Chain A
Amino acid sequence: MMSFHPQKKVFQVSSGAESFAQWLDDGGAPALDPRIHLAGIVASSEDPIISKNLDGTIISWNSAATRVFGYEPEEILGRSILTLIPPELHHEEQEIMRKIRACERIEHFETTRMRKNGERFPISVTISPIQDATGKVIAASKIARDISEKKKNDETRFRLAAIVDSADDGIISKDLNGIVTSWNEAARKIFGYTADEMLGQPVLRLIPADLQYEEDEILRKLRAGQRIEHYETTRQKKNGELIEVSVTISPIKDEAGKVIGGSKIVRDISDRKRVERLVLQSEKLSATGRMAAAIAHEINNPLESLMNIIFLARTYSVADSRVHNLLLTAEGELERVAHIARQTLGYYKDTGAPTEVHIHDLLENVLAVYASKMIASGIKVDRRYADSQAIMVSKGEMLQVFSNVVANANDAMPEGGVLAISTREVSSAFGDGIEILIRDSGVGIEKDNLARIFEPFFTTKGNLGTGIGLWVTKQLLEQRGSQIRISSRVGPTNSGTTVTIFIPFARPEVRSEATQLV
């Protein structure tokens, strides 16, 4: 209950509003003493209310003060207010008291105070002078508010803002009229508009003309409080370029639960879509490839016969005759077919099940195939094998990969050179595995071409290239979780190309048969 000690001029409020109400219900005096009335208000306040006299002695202490500071009234009454102030902030009290004596009020002063257990916490205090009947300041009342929670919320807000700004996805909010109200850094990167350019602007700016009807539907759903998830569509960048995006839109509600806008998370999926299209294309090609592989055996032998027979026919024809020249042309054309057959069908074998092999053995197999050609072109091979662990790979695929790379290296060194092949076991960002370096001292690849080197049907070899060798190589490697990188240098000295292949020991789950390639 409540006690009043006139001698000590101290109010002691030892219980909260409930007991005060109880006291009223129990038939407390209907003609309420205003002091008791005020005491009731103080007791039921959520905020600590403390009063102190001019020498800083605490003379009243409500239950909220107990809750926040941890002192019971009997512990703290009569003690100095400095008890609640961290030592390094004691100087504040002098200033506060100076103002109080001058009858000034201090409002929402944010500072730090100390709980009984020594914990410091942020607080906002409003301090008012208490005057006697003559207007003389005799004490001060202090309403404090523990703002730890508010501070925490502020921090959360800052943290969220930082997250939003550092997100890779565009995060945009808009009101129910489709006007942009926030725009993060990733949104700038995706669309090219800065926040200044977009805030207050209609979101329709981002929607291509033929898709603007989508926004009506989106806003309709938002108003109905519905969420739209992973909606894939096309949007337009500032420079007019169209991009494929996946958007998730959620309604933003006010405290009352009323929808006031929408937040939109936008992900640029142009790259993913490109890959999907390529995979689709490669699946089509792979079906073709398998069929081609099935008949490769049947093609290569007749090709060999044809080449021999036409060569013989030419040998027996009269030099420089029409027949001789026609056969010469036929031979040239056959040579082209033979090249393409070797490059694309040579090693393919539908080896669905990978087996354990040593990479250097496979490299040796490929080198054996090219040995005579390399000797003829004056290419020396420098081998440095440091892979000792066997690895699970599809042999046919790997032979095709190495064969394509070695063939390119040979083509780059028509005047001879050094083909340096090395292997080593490495730990990389992609896990542990074997790294294979295949370096030629050839002509090198121009920068513009280097950027396009893995594109299907891109070739620098004119009629003799199919433009699918490296593309197939990359597909074969990547579908097995392996990596390929190519760097190159052109110029009069030190030119050459280095192909780096990384094959992980731990294979990711094997993709379905359908994605296997040529």
Chain B
Amino acid sequence: MLKFSRRQVAKVVADKLLAGEPSKKVIAELAAYLITHKQLSQADMYLADVESLLADRGYVVADVTSAHPLDEDLRAHIKRLVGTGAKTVALREQVDSDLIGGVIVKARGKQIDTSIRTTLQQLRTRG
């Protein structure tokens, strides 16, 4: 069975998604490939590569973690912040009350952490 590099597989997946193929179908194919080639443990890395390729082509996915659910104003604000030069920005939101307040945004290999938890942690370790 033919085996491709992770980058090649990610490129094929990204191309198919951008071509408008249904995302569920593309992800199912990727999952089949990973199972066949016993690469399931590296699924996160494949997805990260796909996201990176999509971001290069103007389709940015941002992971946003906050202590409280975001409203539309904040979503728009975050999209403006991470979507400079991007065609579309998708947010993958997660609520974590341990953050107390603030937000953590990860996109394009960068991270913005304004959470109170991190600030307090920095205060604790600054001594």
The finding on whether chains A and B are genuine partners in a shared complex, rather than unrelated, reads no
Q: Which residues of A contact B (CB under 8 A)?
A: none
